[in-house]
Amino acid sequence: MATDLIRLGVVLAWGFVLLVPMLGARLGFDTFAFEWTRIWKVMGVLAVGGLLVVAQRAVSARRPDRAHAQHRSRVHVPAAWGWAALGVVAVVFPWFADNYARDVAINVLVYVTLGLGLNVVVGLAGLLDLGYIAFYAVGAYTYALLNTHFQIPFWLALPIGCVVSAGAGAVIGYPTLKMRGDYLAIVTLGFGEIIRLVLNNWDAVTEGPNGILGIKAPGIYYPVFGEGAVTFVHFYLKSLLWLYFVALAIAVVTVVGVHRLDRSRVGRAWISIREDETAAELTGIPTLKVKLLAYMLGAVFAGLAGAFFAAKVRYVNPSSFVFIESALVLCIVVLGGMGSIPGIILGAAAIIVLPEVFRGLELYRMLAFGGAMTVMMVFRPEGLIPAGRRKRELRGEAAAEGDAGA
């Protein structure tokens, strides 16, 4: 607890240094004033919030190690209930929400899909990818082009988009296979920008910065029974309510898919590469092939999300696929907890919803958001809901230290 208080002090001091010039300074034409009251108000809120976090941690740390031993049973039973509750909320929610809330929720679901896809690359295989949004763009443009030029419907374009994205993943991944760490990050950053610049400049196909208009929403056929015959009526899922359910379906497919991959032969190979690539190769794992698979699978999920995005907005242009989007998805993965599916769902919700919540703060919205992220990383470096493996590793060592000290 003492170390927590010290860390809180450091955070507050840091926040103070950051906030003083931004909140306090009032520059007139030839005057310079300082508004201390604003600063103290904000610092007060931060301090109270921080103390609550520290108190909560102190209470949970006070519980003896028996809690640690029970941990597994405690997590396992409610996990199913938690998922069930989340499912019920996800299905019921849009019926009671207004369109604004639905739109935010759809965004959350899209970023859940993106976060889980990037999690395959970053969280499982340990390859830092800063250009991930490129595959989202590939998915979006694939559907946009197929739909506007060939009238291919959404549900057929979805698998095609996945295949094209996976191909892009393989093409972009291939030259980076022998790189590690910083170099890999820089090259993926470059490839992400290349894809965006191609979209921006390849006027003949992509319409350049004007983007592609006139994309159709996802459609369904539903049966109508009447006069002894069944006819099928085509219906476009244009309303946010129906689009929400399409996004939910895609997110659920992604959750199930990533969960299954995580507990599979290939998933273990990815994690072993993250842990020690050389040892993995010398244990019989074809590391280059398995890394390429990680890129391709990550790209598949981004392709799903991208195709949906194009179908929802019914318009794509390159400015939706800038670097900050890649950074945002990476934030979701790191904030939520690398390798943790519930963590990434929560991370996506936090990253998308928090800026909306902070809208009241107007100009300081992004500052508050950035501050929240920083505090989060200081106090919970393993993420909101850490992956089981990772948590046991980090906490296990902490517990061992605690025993030695007691």
Residues that bind other proteins (CB under 8 A): 257, 260-261, 264-269, 271-272, 274-276, 278-287, 293, 297, 389-390, 392-393, 396-397, 400
Q: Cβ distance 37 to 382 under 8 Å?
A: no
What one-letter code names the amino acid at 197? L
Q: Cβ distance 280 to 116 under 8 Å?
A: no
Q: Which is nearer to other proteins, 31 or 278 (CB)?
A: 278
Q: Which is nearer to other proteins, 145 or 271 (CB)?
A: 271
Q: Cβ distance 122 to 302 under 8 Å?
A: no
Torsion over CA: 397, 401, 402, 404 (sign): positive
Q: How many CB atoms lie within 10 A of CB 282?
A: 10
SS3 132: coil
Least distance between other proteins and beta carbon 83 (Å): 17
Closest-CA residue to 321 (of 153, 171, 198): 198
Q: Which is nearer to other proteins, 217 or 261 (CB)?
A: 261
Q: Rounded to whole angstroms, how far apart are CA atoms 183 and 387?
A: 26
Least distance between other proteins and beta carbon 72 (Å): 9
Q: Which is nearer to other proteins, 314 or 390 (CB)?
A: 390
Least distance between other proteins and beta carbon 97 (Å): 32
Q: Which is nearer to other proteins, 84 or 256 (CB)?
A: 256
SS3 220: strand
Q: Which is nearer to other proteins, 226 or 284 (CB)?
A: 284
Q: Which is nearer to other proteins, 23 or 296 (CB)?
A: 296
Least distance between other proteins and beta carbon 241 (Å): 29
Q: Rounded to whole angstroms, how far apart are CA atoms 295 and 165?
A: 10
SS3 283: coil
Closest-CA residue to 131 (of 188, 178, 183): 188
Least distance between other proteins and beta carbon 202 (Å): 31
Q: Which is nearer to other proteins, 94 or 267 (CB)?
A: 267
Least distance between other proteins and beta carbon 166 (Å): 10
Strands 315-316 and 212-213: antiparallel
Q: Rounded to whole angstroms, how far apart are CA atoms 340 and 384?
A: 9
Q: Cβ distance 321 to 328 under 8 Å?
A: no
178, 213, 372 from 314: Cα distances, Å: 39, 7, 34
Least distance between other proteins and beta carbon 403 (Å): 12
Least distance between other proteins and beta carbon 283 (Å): 5
Least distance between other proteins and beta carbon 234 (Å): 30
SS3 206: helix
Q: Which is nearer to other proteins, 287 or 320 (CB)?
A: 287
